[in-house]
Amino acid sequence: MLGYLVRRLAQAVAVVFAMSVIVFVGVYAIGNPIDVMIDPGATQEIRAKLIEQYGLDQPLWQQYFVFLANVAEGDLGTSMVYNIPVVDLVFSRLPATVELVLVSVTIAGVVGIPAGLYAGYRPDSIGAKAIMALSVLGFSVPTFWIGMLLIMAFAVNLGWLPSGGRGDVGEVLGLHTSLATADGWSHVIMPAINLSLFKMGLLIRLTRAGMVEAMSTDYVKFARAQGLPDRQIVFRHILRNISIPIVTVFGLELGSTLAFAVVTESVFNWPGVGKLIIDSILQLDRPVMVSYLIMVVILFVLINLTVDLIYARLDPRVRLKGGA
Amino acid sequence: MTGALEVRGLTTRFETRAGPVTAVNDVSFSVAPGRIMGLVGESGSGKSVTGFSILGLIEEPGRVTGGSVLVEGQDLRALKPDQMRRMRGRKVSMVFQDPMMTLNPVLRVGDQMSMAVRVHEKMSKRAAWDRAREALEIVGIPAPAERLKAYPHQLSGGMRQRVAIATALLHRPAVIIADEPTTALDVSIQGQILAEVRRLADETGTAIVWVTHDLAVVSSLADDICVMYAGRIVESGTSEQVITAPRHPYTKGLIESVPSLHEPGRKLPQIPGSTPQLLNLPTGCPFRPRCPRATDICATEPPRLDTDGRHVLCHHPLETT
């Protein structure tokens, strides 16, 4: 177990390293940030001075090693646009995204998994067919469009919920989050639902597929022959058997939503990291892009590791050894 | 003699897209406490469906359309679904063919067994676990306490089938339906399990319906034999009667096609053709196209029931005297 963790972490370091090279080169190829940053009327001397200040006059490999050296000291660089350390910048935006994503994956799980179980348990019922039709809508209709419809309906026409922005922030256990206030909830609920629809559709279909397959297995028939009620068969026998694909998708979705909730954050004007990364790409804010993407890689590695550990808890036949 | 299990006129139909199929057709038999009845037939003869019909576990589009199933005198078909569920595992239980598939791979053996205990009897988890351990001891599993903590994949095939049998025996049911439980096992393991089952039937008084296609197994294990063909019981009697003096041509064909070690090199007789499709059965007797004794009457008239002590469904039964 410990050996497994060590190997996985070593792998993670290699992945992060490779990723940093790709990102660094890629960002370098996009364009020169100085052109965006300074007044076009600035003199040649000012331009040259700035280029030298940011170290952009050095060759690429040298810039990369300077970057690495700084990272080794815990310094991910300073935003060229906001002029504050990247770490501070990202962490000032992160709580907003995390709370939005947590609410949305919770909604997706709490609604999607039971709905999928039901749709698989009674596949021919009208309810199951309605659930399946809705799940198709959930992941085929574009997020931004549903987001705009939600705003039209609940903010503009009904006036029940605010149309965007983050509400009042309260403090729970030292964390600043809008989930601590009623106003915060009224702001988070609509974008969270919007963000959850795709995941919900996916979870419904996965759960249903697993359920349909499990219902015809011998261990379910055997449980029936022992007189177990269906409720117990579904929740104690089947759910655990079909949870591996569900956990996989859940983990991947959690990661990608945390990193790229861009569309929903833009539609609802949510001050999260998704908007930050889009803005910094437009402004060629190189340190923010590089550092952010590297943090995303670390996030994915951690989520995948967690998912693998959960596998081993769920299915006794999974043994944690080797790397891949 | 009152049977632990009495089946009268049991009929199960499946409404398929191509039309209705009668998979079990007017099946009757009875099994006394502690007796083992072999229900023999080829694939598709309806023997497994008979087992599921007895437990009330036929799924759509199938339905038991007629007959009665009496367990210790109580008609299971008159029960509401939830009452029927309470009978399963407590009064009548079932063991399946493939021990690799019948145990849930992600739950420990003890968890599965104690769940089966507690569904019918209110008791603590600990007490249920003790009951499970005793049940494993009864079926001859060494170190039962450790086995309870194991997951199914950590046990051998024979061990798993013993666990399944122990699970079916937890509540000392009046009847166990065993659906080819030794087919997937090695011959040596099969022998051990058969001996164990014979002993358990004698000791616990549980009546066992042993569903199989394997005449060799049944002849050494069962007290009585019913031979099924195309959804009907074509011949029944004590094991000795049926094996040594079969009266139905189909039974005779089955017995002759069992390979024997005593005459190596001999060409093995076969029954020509294959089991008929239940959707379009031949007119008259369904065995007629494969039967060496068939005459004109077999093509027009359904076979006659001959009951001089034994049940034979044939126009031209073999004479035994």
When the pLDDT of each residue in chain A is averaged and rounded to a whole number, the result is 83
Q: Report the pLDDT value the prediction gives residue B282, as an integer from 0 to 100.
A: 81
Tell me the residues of chain B between 67 and 86 that have a Cβ less than 8 Å away from chain A: 85-86
The answer on pLDDT for B108 being more than 50 is yes
A211-230 confidence digits (pLDDT tens): 999 988 889 999 999 999 99
* Domain co-membership, B203 together with B286: yes
The answer on pLDDT for B254 being more than 60 is yes
Which range (A16-25, A123-132, B189-198, B303-312) has the least confidence? B303-312
Residue B139: give the domain boundaries: 108-170
Residues in CB range of A72: below 8 A, 6 or more apart:
none
Residue of B nearest to A242 (CA): B106
Provide mean pLDDT across the span A143-157: 84
Q: Does the beta-carbon distance from A226 to B104 stay under 8 Å?
A: no
Q: Report the pLDDT value the prediction gives residue A324, as an integer from 0 to 100.
A: 40
Q: Does the beta-carbon distance from A218 to B104 stay under 8 Å?
A: no
The answer on pLDDT for A35 being more than 80 is no
Q: pLDDT tier at B321 (50, 70, 90 boundaries)?
A: low
- Given the cut 0.90, state whether the ipTM is greater than it: no
CA distance, residue B218 to nearest chain A CA (Å): 23
Provide mean pLDDT across the span A258-268: 81
Q: Does B96 touch chain A (CB under 8 A)?
A: yes
* Domain co-membership, B240 together with B261: yes
Q: Does the beta-carbon distance from B98 to A218 stay under 8 Å?
A: yes
Query: Are A265 and A272 a contacting pair, CB within 8 Å?
Result: yes
CA distance, residue A131 to nearest chain B CA (Å): 22
* Domain co-membership, B186 together with B63: yes
Q: Does the beta-carbon distance from B120 to A316 stay under 8 Å?
A: no
More confident residue, B102 or A80: B102
Provide mean pLDDT across the span B125-130: 92
The answer on pLDDT for B1 being more than 70 is no
Q: What are the C-alpha distances in Å from A127 to residues A84, A109, A133? A: 53, 19, 10
B103 in any annotated domain: no
| Domains, chain A | 2-72 (no CATH), 92-282 (1.10.3720.10)
Which range (A158-172, A249-263, B145-159, B209-223) has the least confidence? A158-172
B318 in any annotated domain: no
Measured between beta carbons, the chain A residues lying within 8 angstroms of B151 are: 316-317
Residues in CB range of A305: below 8 A, 6 or more apart:
A5, A8, A12
- 3-class SS at B234? strand
Residue of B nearest to A226 (CA): B89
Q: Does the beta-carbon distance from A241 to B102 stay under 8 Å?
A: no
Measured between beta carbons, the chain B residues lying within 8 angstroms of A310 are: none
Residues in CB range of A160: below 8 A, 6 or more apart:
A154
Cα distance between residue A102 and residue A196, in whole Å: 10
The answer on pLDDT for A5 being more than 90 is no
Q: pLDDT tier at B24 (50, 70, 90 boundaries)?
A: very high
Q: Does A319 touch chain B (CB under 8 A)?
A: no
Provide mean pLDDT across the span B83-109: 90
Residues in CB range of B80: below 8 A, 6 or more apart:
none
- Side chain identity at residue B206, one-letter code: T
* Domain co-membership, B194 together with B72: yes
Preferred mutation among A122, A226, A234 to probe B, highest tally of B CBs within 10 A: A226
- For B198, phi then psi, to 5°, come to -60, -45
More confident residue, A297 or B160: B160
The answer on pLDDT for A323 being more than 50 is no
Q: Report the pLDDT value the prediction gives residue B311, as an integer from 0 to 100.
A: 84
B222-252 confidence digits (pLDDT tens): 999 999 999 999 999 899 888 888 888 899 8
Which range (A65-69, A149-153, A318-322, B16-20) has the least confidence? A318-322
Cα distance between residue A179 and residue A169, in whole Å: 7
Tell me the residues of chain B between 140 and 199 that have a Cβ less than 8 Å away from chain A: 151, 153, 164, 167-168, 170
Measured between beta carbons, the chain A residues lying within 8 angstroms of B170 are: 226
* Domain co-membership, B164 together with B233: no
Cα distance between residue B62 and residue B175, in whole Å: 23
The answer on pLDDT for B184 being more than 90 is no
pLDDT above 70 as % of chain A: 94
Q: Report the pLDDT value the prediction gives residue A174, as an integer from 0 to 100.
A: 65
Provide mean pLDDT across the span B4-11: 92
Which range (A269-273, B9-13, B251-255, B302-306) has the least confidence? B302-306
Provide mean pLDDT across the span A218-243: 91
Neighbours of A81 (CB within 10 A): 18
Measured between beta carbons, the chain B residues lying within 8 angstroms of A224 are: 57, 88
The answer on pLDDT for B5 being more than 90 is yes
CATH of the domain at B74: 3.40.50.300
Which range (A23-27, A50-54, A228-232, A245-249) has the least confidence? A50-54
B55 in any annotated domain: yes
B152 in any annotated domain: yes
The answer on pLDDT for B185 being more than 70 is yes
* Domain co-membership, B83 together with B116: no
Dump strand ranges (E) for chain B: 5-16, 19-31, 36-40, 62-71, 74-75, 92-95, 175-179, 207-212, 224-229, 232-238, 305-307, 311-313
Q: Does A259 touch chain B (CB under 8 A)?
A: no
More confident residue, B237 or B280: B237
* Domain co-membership, B151 together with B189: no
B97 in any annotated domain: no
B88, B153, B164 member nearest A224 (Cβ): B88
Provide mean pLDDT across the span B291-301: 84
Q: Which of A15-24, A68-77, A156-165, A201-210 has the highest mean pLDDT?
A: A201-210
When the pLDDT of each residue in chain B is averaged and rounded to a whole number, the result is 88
Q: Does the beta-carbon distance from A225 to B119 stay under 8 Å?
A: no
Q: Report the pLDDT value the prediction gives residue A139, as an integer from 0 to 100.
A: 80
Domain count, chain B: 2
Q: Does the beta-carbon distance from A219 to B119 stay under 8 Å?
A: no
pLDDT above 70 as % of chain B: 98
Q: Does the beta-carbon distance from B104 to A314 stay under 8 Å?
A: no
* Domain co-membership, B33 together with B119: no
Q: What are the C-alpha distances in Å from A74 to residues A20, A69, A77, A82, B287? A: 15, 9, 9, 19, 85
* Domain co-membership, B187 together with B268: yes
* Domain co-membership, B177 together with B227: yes
B240 in any annotated domain: yes
Q: pLDDT tier at B259 (50, 70, 90 boundaries)?
A: confident
B135 in any annotated domain: yes
Tell me the residues of chain B between 5 and 44 that have a Cβ less than 8 Å away from chain A: none
Instruction: Using the 3D structure, point to which of B124, B154, B170 is the last residue of a domain.
Output: B170
Provide mean pLDDT across the span A304-319: 82
Q: What are the C-alpha distances in Å from A166 to residues A93, A117, B11, B72? A: 11, 34, 67, 69
- For B155, phi then psi, to 5°, come to -110, 155
Instruction: Using the 3D structure, point to which of B155, B170, B185 is the last residue of a domain.
Output: B170
* Domain co-membership, B117 together with B177: no
Q: Report the pLDDT value the prediction gives residue A207, as an integer from 0 to 100.
A: 93
Q: Does the beta-carbon distance from A219 to B103 stay under 8 Å?
A: yes
B17 in any annotated domain: yes
The answer on pLDDT for A251 being more than 60 is yes
* Domain co-membership, B126 together with B273: no
Instruction: Using the 3D structure, point to which of B149, B170, B191 is the last residue of a domain.
Output: B170
Q: Does the beta-carbon distance from B164 to A219 stay under 8 Å?
A: no
Q: Report the pLDDT value the prediction gives residue B262, as an integer from 0 to 100.
A: 67
Q: Does B87 touch chain A (CB under 8 A)?
A: yes
Q: Does A212 touch chain B (CB under 8 A)?
A: no
